[in-house]
Amino acid sequence: MSDFDVDLFVIGAGSGGVRAARIAAAHGASVMVAEEFRIGGTCVIRGCVPKKLYVYASRFADDFADAAGFGWTLPARPAFDWRKLVDAKEKEITRLSGLYRQNLERNKVEIVESRAEVIGPNRVRLLNDGREITAKYILVATGGAPALEPSIPGLEHAVSSNEVFDLTAFPQRLLVVGGGYIAVEFASVFARLGCKVTQAMRADNVLRGFDGDMRAGVRDALRHAGVDFRFGVLPTKIEKTAEGLKAALSDGADIVVDQVLVATGRRPHTRGLGLENAGVEMDAVGAVKVDGYSRTNAPSVYAVGDVTNRVNLTPVAIREGHAFADTVFGGRDIRVDHANVASAVFTTPELGTVGLGEEDARAQYDVVDIYSAGFRPMKATLSGSAERVAMKIVVDGKTDKVLGVHILGHEAGEMAQLLGIAVKMGATKADFDATMAVHPTAAEELVTMRTRSARHER
């Protein structure tokens, strides 16, 4: 008989928490998981999943425009109904949330729909009924929350990615603040759905940290879709007026829009969680500090996912949760390898990427070879669309090892997933060259780029 009510108490039923709870239970642990919002977490409820559904919705605009070149005649202006999309999305995420719940219940994980706070190294309190639960281990999997910046008068009129999916009316005019993943994805979606989008950010380009040519490609594609960029500019004030929300910008301009979406990053969700009651250390932004096993400095407390601010992506949180459960309850020894995580930015066209961008590679390696290709995709020959595909392979010039691959184009996310395997295995450029092409595809360019575009030595 254990001295504790449960072996594992998980705070947060998102990607990382649900996986950890389920696997720990499968290993025979008694598990309780607390969730204050909806089972599924950010990814399922107001992140990756609904975002991708909206991306699909937005791309019909291009499909309708492309169809004529292939012999189709469509109504002059196909109509889009925002409410129908929101309702369909809601139905799907409710279904997914139900599946998550079933999965937990099938594994005999007890779900408590309540906020939970840590009151000691082995003790949590449920806020709905004040119950205290003792646990051998506590897993913090509370994710992140939008951080709205800059703090300006009228910021309360703006929305974050939490609210933007469920706007009651489709915004005809939208100001997007920020230039990261969330900002560019929503700018792309809303512009395609027919909204006039203005995007303001403090930097001189979108997607800091990504390969420079890819950043430029995303910027150009969004601009082509109608996004009005204001670089080096942020709002200084937002006012509600009869015409809409009036945003004063730092360059002296005023713009009037229906909604302001602020996407200026996310912060680990640790405030008020009581972690100090267990002596858990956090960093300056409030992220829980963990080691390679997701263990905090408090031996009974672990943390996975965005709350640890390592690589803030759902598959990473899932892997961390799984590794934690296997290590602590399954008698295995698994550290998560955070190197070369492939990811995608779901603008249109998409950006799929794995490994180092050119700039980062040049900062870290003595000799860097670049292979790049830019071309019009085959579909565009008949559709007449201006879409371009860009690809870049970044290679260590001394060892021939592929350090990074970057693709801007249709289904680049799908390509990045497969390239992730090759890069993770340590593929060389010669391995790419030895691979036969699949024809006719865009991806075949990846194995047919024979001529180096540049060599950089330092």
For the CB of residue 169, give the shortest distance to ligand NDP in the complex, in Å: 24
- Residue pair 304/321 in contact by the 8 Å Cβ criterion: yes
Is omega for the bond preceding 349 within 30 degrees of 0, making it cis? yes
249 lies in the site for ligand NDP, by CB under 6 A = no
Strand-strand pairing, 110-112 and 31-34 = parallel
Q: Residues 157, 269, 439, 456: which is the catalytic one?
A: 439
Among 203, 253, 285, 434, binds ligand NDP (CB under 6 A): 203
> Binders of ligand NDP: how many residues, by CB under 6 A?
24
According to the binding rule CB under 6 A, does residue 202 interact with ligand NDP? yes
Q: Does 208 bind ligand NDP (CB under 6 A)?
A: yes
Q: Which of 54, 137, 170, 181 binds ligand NDP (CB under 6 A)?
A: 181
Among 118, 182, 328, 368, binds ligand NDP (CB under 6 A): 182
Q: Does 180 bind ligand NDP (CB under 6 A)?
A: yes
179 binds ligand NDP, rule: CB under 6 A: yes
* Site for ligand NDP contains 237 (CB under 6 A): no
Q: Which one of 138, 234, 415, 442 is in contact with ligand NDP (CB under 6 A)?
A: 234
Q: Does 411 bind ligand NDP (CB under 6 A)?
A: no
Q: Identify the residue among 58, 264, 308, 340 touching ligand NDP (CB under 6 A).
A: 264
Contact of 21 with 33, CB cutoff 8 Å? yes
Considering only 85-93, 176-184, 239-247, 323-331, which stretch makes contact with ligand NDP by CB under 6 A?
176-184
- Helix 82-106 / helix 48-67 crossing angle, nearest 10 deg: 140
**Distance separating alpha carbons of residues 392 and 379, to the nearest angstrom:** 21
**Which residue has the closest beta carbon to ligand NDP?**
180
Q: For ligand NDP, which is the closer residue by CB, 330 or 409?
A: 409
Asked if residue 260 lies in contact with residue 200, where contact means CB atoms within 8 angstroms, the answer is: no
Share in percent of the chain as helix, strand, coil (round to 5): 35, 25, 40
Task: Specify the 3-state DSSP secondary structure of 109.
Answer: coil
Known catalytic residue at 224: no
Which listed range, 9-17, 83-91, 263-271, 291-299, lies at the site for ligand NDP (CB under 6 A)?
A: 263-271
The residues pairing with 393 across neighbouring beta strands, listed in sequence order, are 371, 405
Which residue has tokens 């409820």? 45
CA distances from 365 to 104, 183, 298, 399, 456 (A): 46, 31, 38, 11, 9
Query: Considering only 240-248, 259-267, 283-291, 444-452, which stretch makes contact with ligand NDP by CB under 6 A?
Result: 259-267
Piece of 31-39, 57-65, 182-190, 400-408 that binds ligand NDP (CB under 6 A):
182-190
Residue 30 binds ligand NDP (CB under 6 A): no
Check if the beta carbon of residue 428 is closer than 8 Å to that of residue 402: yes
Write out the binding residues for ligand NDP, residues 309-348 only, by CB under 6 A.
312-313, 343-346
Tokens representing residue 79 in the block = 């109509």
Distance CA 447, CA 436 (A): 7
Query: Is-contact 300 316, C-beta < 8 A?
Result: no
Query: What CA–CA distance (Å, rounded) separates 1 from 119?
Result: 23
Catalytic residue numbers? 439
Interacting residue ranges for ligand NDP, rule: CB under 6 A: 149-150, 178-183, 185, 201-203, 208, 234, 263-266, 312-313, 343-346
